[in-house]
Chain A
Amino acid sequence: MSLTNFTIAEASAKLRAKEFSALELTEAYLKAIENARSLNAYIVTTPEKARDMAKVSDAKLAKGQGGALEGIPLGIKDLFATKGVHTQACSHILDGFKPGYESTVTQNLWDAGAVMLGKLNMDEFAMGSSNETSCYGPVSNPWRRKNSNTSLVPGGSSGGSASAVAAHLCAAATATDTGGSIRQPAAFTGTVGIKPTYGRVSRWGTVAFASSLDQAGPIARDVRDAAIMLKAMASVDPKDTTSINLPIPDYEAAIGKSIKGLRVGIPKEYRPSGLSSEINALWDKGAKWLKEQGAEIVEISLPHTKYALPAYYIVAPAEASSNLARYDGVRYGLRIAGDDLIDTYEKTRAAGFGREVQRRVLVGTYVLSAGYYDAYYVKAQKVRTLIKRDFDDAWNKVDVVLTPATPSPAFAPGEITDPVEMYLNDIFTVTVNMAGLPGIAVPAGLSESGLPLGLQLIGKPFDEETLFRTAYAIEQAAGRFTAPQWW
């Protein structure tokens, strides 16, 4: 059995029992990455750095010391600034950029003893649901349809993270979620992904997409590993004014606790008429599992659900157009010289940003432009208040909400070309970002075509513990799903 098959919890116990060293574990992952180049999950590997970090971990472990992730090899989404290491948000506009600083999230992980294997592929600036917008090309999902050799997308934007975790190319990965970018790829790859409450994880040093929605979280192989990862990633950070000053619970302690008496909401608006029978059946099965373990199933209404996605496609591009204004070719990254300064800006941004990013910057610029600000952005922010209010009302009746994670299993590259159809992938996840709530995607079964399908649990603000407890109950009933190796 390869060392890469162990979860974080398993590997940690074995490292402490000296069954193998951190360096051996790291070497096993580096070899697995080399053998899986065809997945295109990693865009950069840092083998020397990984070995150095593993040796430091081994020295600590030998003395019986070390943090919660001591010697655990991780993959890092290209959105997180890593000091002296490639950080480009998978965009040409950041060509050659190596930050002189470390993001708070990655620093927290290194402080906990984790080992960096490299940087993971993603949709450019986290804009996409299929990892097809990356300037480094698409990522392959380790999962394929039954009796098929067709490559499938791993979802996005954290497609490299999800693919790497599912293919055992890292013990776990960092990811970010603005509209579903952790939960949708987790659902597509049979992995567990949690977007914590807005403000739980520092955004400092993470390339900004839509600042009022962006939140980092882990993608891991099981619910316990996701809990271990989130505890290490989360912090109260003076460098991020939106980081909330609340203590970080021991999420792992919530795992295995009874869900007896837990009130689980089933929102009727998440069952649109076109929803496939397969997804409907999965959702019913999830509710049944929770009921069998003592939970109470309550039908609820979240009436503004259908407006979350259109409101998102105003708020996110508006904030993106503002955040991405900094990429002007003057101080760092790509520069295409023009006739004058304006021409340099325009040529640089035209060459540096991909098609989807340009489209969103243009939409954002339009909705923020003179005369349209109230009609679009302010209106969308008001709709957000209504979406949040729906949930506030629901919390009077239920402790947690259960929904499907995605409307379909993974699809093939090029299969979805219409932008709005692509946006519909986030239909079940985007409400959570709009209301700032925590949401977790947990694998719940396989489709008729043999692909993983996920369920989503939505929690009260800062009640990630209930999500881990409930997700674990689903995982216990559903089992875990590992892609057969073909690469």
Chain B
Amino acid sequence: MSVDDKTVRRVAKLARIKVEEKDVPRLAAELNVILAFVEQLNEVNVDGIAPLTSVVAAEMKKRKDVVTDGHYAKAIVANTQSEDQFFIVPRVVE
């Protein structure tokens, strides 16, 4: 599978990264090198093999559905452009 310029633009859009038109061919080339490298996996027969979901067998931890933390709204918004403990974000709805 090979990546063309159109695919780079589509993937960049999905990844929400602005890619300048002049950088598209370079990125396509770089992605193709990496994808060619991972193509080696085609040699491996994985019939009947389950994907690895956990590297160590362990039962999923469960916790009680209760409030254990909170009441520090100021700390939550400390890194944002906030007013009155709200997030101020760009306009989302026109």
Contacts and interface: CB of A to CB of B under 8 A. Distances in A.
Nearest to A346: B18
Contact of B56 (A241, A381, A461): A461
A341 B34 contact: no
B61 to A, nearest CB: 5
B56 A198 contact: yes
B27 A359 contact: yes
A270 B44 CA distance: 18
B46 A379 contact: yes
Interface stretch (A116-124, A324-332, A443-451): A324-332
Interface string B14-47: 1111110000000100110111011111011010
Contact of A384 (B15, B52, B61, B75): B52
A96 B16 contact: no
Interface in A321-350: 321, 325, 328, 330-333, 335, 337-338, 340-347, 349-350
Contacts of B85: none
A365 B10 CA distance: 10
Contact of B16 (A332, A346, A383, A384): A346
Interface string A297-340: 00000001011011101100000010001001011110101101
Contacts of A244: 56, 58
A283 interface: no
Nearest to B72: A100
A376 interface: yes
Contact of B51 (A98, A335, A385): A385
A294 interface: no
A381 B31 contact: no
Contact of B46 (A369, A382, A461): A382
A107 to B, nearest CB: 14
Given A328-B16, A350-B17, A384-B51, A366 B72 contact: no
B91 interface: yes
A151 to B, nearest CB: 26
Contacts of A345: 16
B90 interface: yes
Contacts of B16: 325, 328, 342, 345-346, 349
Contacts of B67: none
A383 to B, nearest CB: 6
A419 B26 CA distance: 13
Contacts of A369: 11, 14
Contacts, number: 156
B48 to A, nearest CB: 9
Contacts of B7: 366
A367 to B, nearest CB: 8
B55 A388 contact: yes
A327 to B, nearest CB: 10
B66 interface: no
B78 A98 contact: yes
A331 B46 contact: no
Contact of A100 (B8, B52, B55, B75): B75
Given A311-B41, A361-B17, A331 B30 contact: no
A380 B63 CA distance: 31
A56 B51 CA distance: 50
Interface string B53-68: 1011010110100000
Given A244-B56, A306-B40, A365 B79 contact: no
A28 interface: no
A362 interface: yes
Given A100-B78, A198-B56, A199-B56, A307 B17 contact: no
A243 to B, nearest CB: 8
| Most chain A beta carbons < 10 A, residue from B30, B34, B72, B91 | B34
A426 to B, nearest CB: 13
Contacts of B91: 340-341
The 9 closest A-B pairs by CB, nearest first: A436-B55, A100-B75, A381-B51, A332-B79, A346-B18, A350-B18, A382-B46, A384-B52, A365-B15
Interface of B: 1, 3, 7-8, 11-12, 14-19, 27, 30-31, 33-35, 37-41, 43-44, 46, 49-53, 55-56, 58, 60-61, 63, 72, 75-76, 78-81, 87, 89-92, 94
Given A304-B44, A362-B8, A385-B50, 15 more contacts: A97-B79, A98-B79, A199-B55, A310-B37, A310-B38, A314-B38, A332-B80, A341-B90, A363-B35, A380-B38, A381-B51, A382-B51, A384-B51, A386-B44, A386-B46
9 contacts: A241-B61, A311-B41, A331-B79, A331-B89, A341-B90, A379-B46, A382-B46, A384-B51, A435-B55
